[in-house]
């Protein structure tokens, strides 16, 4: 057993090492086109994750960051300077995405603005003839996800969601083993995410900082007064702009679960939780469980603990798959373990890439680059995108349904064909949202 385990570990590390070069240049070694054939990108929303994406895309061969868009002048200037330092070429800056999309000379838009912007900006980009890379969640509400799928089909451009694990080699291998029956029939999965987030306090209404165009920051969302505890990260915990931990992080685990169980839409959803740890302005739950049942006689749960980072199965995030002949434990990165029905370790596939599940920018910085490169190579015609919006919408819908079940406080019965909530008018009111006048989403 030890020799077999060591062989699997060594083989896995060797197979993965080509993915981890600092420049990521080797990832493009299969490119057969002209060296001058660049994919030109604009990036929207670059304070945190967007800054990481801009810099990582900028380091990919045959890729150019030509435009940066952010309503915060300080963020905009900083990102432009960092990209110029990396590439020697200064991107042009915009505060208004509508103005950026008037430019004809770029191929794709990368979107890492707050959640309420994801679908509106993506559809605007598709209408402008651009491919789209959109961070998870792809939408703020279920209806937006449906509209984004429709827009992708209508405008014939690609949309890749930031479900990076769809590109990780060992995760793909794990899913292949699940589907081939390595642990028999997989009938249940459990996912989790933990963190130790601090209180956001009670916000005070203050003048908007001179560097921020708050009107453009809010964009499609109904207008509210500026408070000092919203920007740049705490918007995640307000329903007007954010979607809570279930979509901020749970989307990743639920995507892997849905993939592994081979399911699309649930037939039953229930959720419980609350804002338990701190008494402050935070609106979404800091502690939440969501349970799903699917039409193929499978089920799953996801647990989010935003304010208690005690590990589960030795990891801050991950998924366990349970079958009638064994179990697979996936620790959230690019490694996994296979156990038999006697709970004995059968095999272990290890990737030693540094992994910090509480990192709010990039828990798996080196592996993330492969997912971005997949988007670039798909635009070139050399690959097929690994996380198309047709799949991204389904994986985003799961935590959205969980939030709706939490907010109405009861079990949701759903249509297995599209996820729509059955016989519950109040719950279906949360399927869509109100928009600021003039910012309505249209395909």
The CATH code of the domain that includes 194 is 3.30.360.10
Alpha carbon 168 to its chain's center: 14
Within a domain: 10: no
Alpha carbon distance 306, 80 (integer Å): 33
Per-residue pLDDT at 345: 98
Tell me: do 51 and 190 sit in the same domain: no
Within a domain: 23: yes
- Has residue 241 got a pLDDT over 60? yes
**Model pTM score:** 0.91
pLDDT in tens, 169-202: 999 999 999 999 999 999 999 999 999 999 999 9
Tell me: do 146 and 216 sit in the same domain: no
- Has residue 222 got a pLDDT over 60? yes
Tell me: do 362 and 278 sit in the same domain: yes
What lies within 8 Å, CB to CB, of 418 at 6+ separation is 146, 265
18-27, 139-148, 356-365: which range is least confident on average? Answer: 18-27
Tell me: do 100 and 215 sit in the same domain: no
Tell me: do 159 and 180 sit in the same domain: no
DSSP 334-397: S-EEEEETTS-EEEEE-------TT-SS-TTHHHHHHHHHHHHHHHHTSS--SSBHHHHHHHHH
Per-residue pLDDT at 365: 72
Tell me: do 197 and 144 sit in the same domain: no
- Has residue 363 got a pLDDT over 70? no
Instruction: Report residue 184 as tokens.
Output: 């028999």
Q: Are 48 and 389 in contact (CB under 8 A)?
A: no
- Has residue 12 got a pLDDT over 60? no
Tell me: do 179 and 240 sit in the same domain: yes
Give 27's DSSP letter: G
Alpha carbon distance 403, 399 (integer Å): 6
Instruction: Report residue 385 as tokens.
Output: 């995108």
Per-residue pLDDT at 10: 35
From residue 424, give the alpha-carbon distance in Å to each of 96, 235, 385. 39, 29, 36
Per-residue pLDDT at 3: 38
Per-residue pLDDT at 360: 64
Domain that holds residue 53: 17-164
pLDDT in tens, 415-436: 999 999 999 999 999 999 999 9
- Has residue 398 got a pLDDT over 50? yes
Tell me: do 393 and 419 sit in the same domain: yes
Tell me: do 112 and 197 sit in the same domain: no
Tell me: do 150 and 280 sit in the same domain: no
- Has residue 21 got a pLDDT over 90? no
pLDDT in tens, 272-317: 999 999 999 999 999 999 999 999 999 999 999 999 999 999 999 9
pLDDT in tens, 326-353: 999 999 999 999 999 999 999 999 998 8
* SS3 (DSSP) at 319: strand
For residue 299, what are the β-bridge partners? 188, 293
Within a domain: 318: yes
pLDDT in tens, 242-282: 999 999 999 999 999 999 999 999 999 999 999 999 999 99
């Amino acid at each position: 057993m030890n020799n077999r385990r060591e062989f699997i570990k060594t083989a896995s590390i060797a197979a993965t090492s080509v993915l981890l070069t600092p420049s990521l240049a080797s990832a493009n070694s299969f490119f057969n086109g002209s060296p001058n054939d660049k994919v030109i990108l604009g990036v929207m929303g670059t304070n945190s994750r967007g800054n990481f994406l801009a810099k990582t895309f900028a380091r990919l061969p045959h890729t150019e960051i030509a435009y940066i868009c952010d309503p915060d002048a300080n963020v905009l200037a900083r990102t432009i300077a960092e990209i110029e330092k990396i590439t020697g070429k200064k991107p042009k800056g915009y505060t208004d995405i509508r103005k950026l999309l008037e430019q004809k000379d770029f191929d794709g838009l990368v979107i890492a603005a707050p959640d309420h912007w994801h679908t509106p900006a993506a559809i605007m980009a598709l209408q402008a003839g651009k491919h789209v890379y959109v961070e998870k969640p792809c939408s703020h509400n279920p209806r937006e996800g449906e509209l984004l799928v429709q827009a992708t089909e209508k405008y014939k451009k690609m949309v890749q969601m930031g479900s990076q694990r769809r590109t990780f080699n060992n995760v793909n291998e794990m899913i292949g083993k699940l589907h081939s029956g390595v642990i028999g029939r997989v009938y249940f999965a459990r996912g989790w995410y933990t963190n130790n987030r601090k209180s956001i306090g009670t916000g005070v209404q203050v003048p908007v900082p001179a560097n921020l165009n708050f009107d453009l920051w809010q964009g499609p969302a109904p207008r509210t007064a500026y408070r000092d505890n919203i920007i740049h990260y705490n918007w995640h915990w307000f329903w007007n702009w954010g979607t809570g931990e279930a979509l901020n992080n749970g989307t990743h685990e639920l995507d892997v679960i849905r993939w592994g169980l081979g399911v699309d839409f649930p037939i039953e959803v229930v959720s419980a939780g609350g804002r338990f740890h701190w008494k402050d302005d935070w609106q979404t739950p800091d502690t939440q469980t969501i349970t799903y049942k699917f039409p193929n006689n499978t089920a799953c749960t996801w647990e989010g603990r935003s304010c208690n980072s005690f590990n589960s199965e030795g990891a801050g995030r991950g998924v366990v798959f349970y079958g009638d002949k064994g179990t697979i434990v996936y620790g959230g990165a690019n490694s996994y373990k296979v156990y038999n029905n006697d709970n004995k370790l059968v095999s272990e596939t290890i990737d030693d890439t540094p992994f910090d599940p509480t990192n709010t920018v990039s828990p798996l910085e080196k592996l993330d680059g492969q997912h971005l490169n997949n988007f670039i190579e798909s635009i070139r015609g050399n690959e097929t995108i690994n996380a198309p919006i047709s799949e991204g919408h389904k994986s985003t819908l799961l935590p959205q349904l969980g939030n709706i079940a939490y907010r109405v406080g009861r079990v949701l019965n759903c249509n297995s064909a599209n996820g729509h909530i059955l016989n519950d008018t109040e719950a279906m009111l949360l399927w869509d949202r109100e928009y600021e006048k003039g910012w309505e989403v249209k395909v």
